[in-house]
Structure 1
């Protein structure tokens, strides 16, 4: 699955500079060679995909198929992008913004206008903050007005209402900055500052799976609450918003191997399980969100050791899900904390993308490339 530089260059038929450029742009994944850390290995499937492109113009079917799996951009957006290994919100570096901005500031930036969080309202009790958010969004979506036809100020007002409903559901009724309410809800007011930074870093991330789901929903004219519900449902998958929980489970599972954590990781791999919390295709040099967050907390020793061993074994550096799990362990937060933090933050991004999608007036309706049984034509009338 991994090629040497010479093998990759042979398949690509290109110069080393082109190979390195493809790595820096996230088109080819790379990792250090475990036998010689001065050299790199390159992901075979990425190399072959680029080689196929170079051999000739791809068919429209191939282009469309690749685009939905970390391929070329599929729709225009002015909200956020990852470029040169950095995350930008409307052209501004997200890590720089996280040094002093709050989630409310990021909402103003991404929603492209002023807004006001509505007064809090009582919400029904639920087992977890996520369950409460689902209940509130479902009820709101049942009675909300369609997004189609609303003006920009009306849409921002509706977005504020959706964010307020989610915040009240997940954090309880209250006032003040969301990161302070979150810290109080988690029972750790001393974590308020790092939670503020975390919310900013997680607010948006291009066209991720949950954001795309939210955009598809409102492209039909559905309400912003319905779009947020679609985003939240997609978010719950273990390959997306709940991955930090898997990192916590991994850290617990390799506990018996504290002196030799590499053995625990090899057991996971031997069982056919992926190692969560490491690597990201958009950040071949390392997830800058994770670097910023890990630099702001006292990373527990177990997580430092896990990161070192995983990087040595896999060639991948910690991503933001690892950082979120480390934050949870560092402040002894409750089990629901990673999903609560992430979903609250990302709801701002969902709403920004939904506002943009509604303004475009376009329906997102791709075609499927049929690969089923041969179509049986209906016989025509006999003449």
Structure 2
């Protein structure tokens, strides 16, 4: 049996002396008087190394957890979507390939593992908007039954109803038979944009555990209604670092038209700012969704020049938020069209994750690593 001095024990543990003494008093570390100096103590090496190993494991767990929240590995298993080698996959199927022919309702059938359905029409609001969607989801969330304790079949029926409510509020009135991309094209009086709208909706339907999807899963994990999960997702989506990122791209494009593309890029970088809607941590070689959309329309000249200048200067390619901004200007869609497209499409993914989370029956409850100061004694 080996015995360590206080300094040796503290070096292994990486703690303060009072922590060492506390472990001794609680019986976790055996101590004895130092035969060479009765004023000092020795500590059993086996006990110290055991505690040091446990502490290192906890530190590693905290590091992994912190990194996971910042673009790390997924924090929970899901069978819905993933990004593999730069490709976006929905239940193992390539989203770009699906966008060639599928409509958003097809993706709902795929992600929900449901039978084909037709969305019901409940209301015909005069004007659709993101604000109306917030109101509709808040009203439903306050009245819908909790997701806990209900069969998956019943929840899938409810998911259809929730998607219909959101669609009605975003479109502002639609036929009971028209697909959602047609409804948006008609509502915006841009029938020629129907196909590119369809492609965008399919490509935006789901994207792993992004911020809004995680918010949805947290809400549903408490047993809250599916509509409450969608409301949480919608609130998170509205942020400028998520669904609102296209507004930043549009502002930068305006600067490029006025100043010139390279000057606009350099001006932003010179202010210590990142370029909005460029680069994506999950797509080091470029956002495949943006590439798929750009393959279907020619962006305005100042957008194309901005894309080229940004790549030349920063090495970052435009992501899907930039493509949505360019698409909006190309087809003269409403200014909030990117957020509307995101909300309509991502609702399908949110509901898929809500169904998956409800099926798991697990509460999502991370722990915090406290880094504040000590309170008053």
Q: TM-score, normalised by structure 2?
A: 0.82
**Paired residue for 1:179, among 178, 181, 192?**
181
Q: CA offset at residue 253 of structure 1?
A: 2.0
Q: Which sections of structure 1, spanning at least 5 residues, go unmatched?
A: 1-55, 378-383
CA deviation map 1:53-99 (0-9, x unaligned): xxx99611111111111112210000000011100000000000000
Counterpart of 1:247 in structure 2 is 249
Query: Residues 126 and 173 of structure 2 are in contact (CA less than 8 Å); yes or no, is this contact kept in structure 1?
Result: no
**Secondary structure at 1:108's aligned position in 2?**
helix
Q: CA offset at residue 193 of structure 1?
A: 0.6
Matches within 5 A, 1:31-70: 59-70=60-71
**Secondary structure at 1:362's aligned position in 2?**
coil
Mapped to 2, the partners of 1:58 and 1:88 lie a distance apart of 34
Q: CA offset at residue 250 of structure 1?
A: 0.9
Matches within 5 A, 1:1-383: 59-114=60-115, 116-122=117-123, 129-175=129-175, 176-258=178-260, 261-374=261-374
Query: Residues 230 and 350 of structure 2 are in contact (CA less than 8 Å); yes or no, is this contact kept in structure 1?
Result: yes
Q: CA offset at residue 308 of structure 1?
A: 0.3
Counterpart of 1:9 in structure 2 is none
Mapped to 2, the partners of 1:104 and 1:90 lie a distance apart of 15
Bigger Cα Rg: 2
CA deviation map 1:233-274 (0-9, x unaligned): 00011000010111111111222223xx21111112222332
Q: CA offset at residue 115 of structure 1?
A: 5.3
How many equivalent pairs are there?
Answer: 320
Query: Residues 125 and 173 of structure 2 are in contact (CA less than 8 Å); yes or no, is this contact kept in structure 1?
Result: no
Residues 115 and 157 of structure 1: CA distance in aligned 2, closer, same or farther (over 3 Å):
farther
More contact order relative to length (CA 8 Å, sep ≥ 6): 1
**Secondary structure at 2:88's aligned position in 1?**
strand
Q: CA offset at residue 329 of structure 1?
A: 1.1
Q: CA offset at residue 122 of structure 1?
A: 2.2
Query: Residues 148 and 224 of structure 2 are in contact (CA less than 8 Å); yes or no, is this contact kept in structure 1?
Result: yes
Mapped to 2, the partners of 1:165 and 1:272 lie a distance apart of 42
Q: CA offset at residue 119 of structure 1?
A: 2.4
CA deviation map 1:193-213 (0-9, x unaligned): 111111000000000000000
Query: Residues 87 and 205 of structure 1 are in contact (CA less than 8 Å); yes or no, is this contact kept in structure 2?
Result: yes
**Secondary structure at 1:254's aligned position in 2?**
helix
Mapped to 1, the partners of 2:195 and 2:116 lie a distance apart of 23
Mapped to 2, the partners of 1:125 and 1:229 lie a distance apart of 22
Residues 311 and 217 of structure 1: CA distance in aligned 2, closer, same or farther (over 3 Å):
same
Deviates more, 1:111-120 or 1:296-305: 111-120
Mapped to 1, the partners of 2:58 and 2:149 lie a distance apart of 40
Query: Residues 123 and 136 of structure 1 are in contact (CA less than 8 Å); yes or no, is this contact kept in structure 2?
Result: no
CA deviation map 1:255-304 (0-9, x unaligned): 2223xx21111112222332111111101111110000000112211111
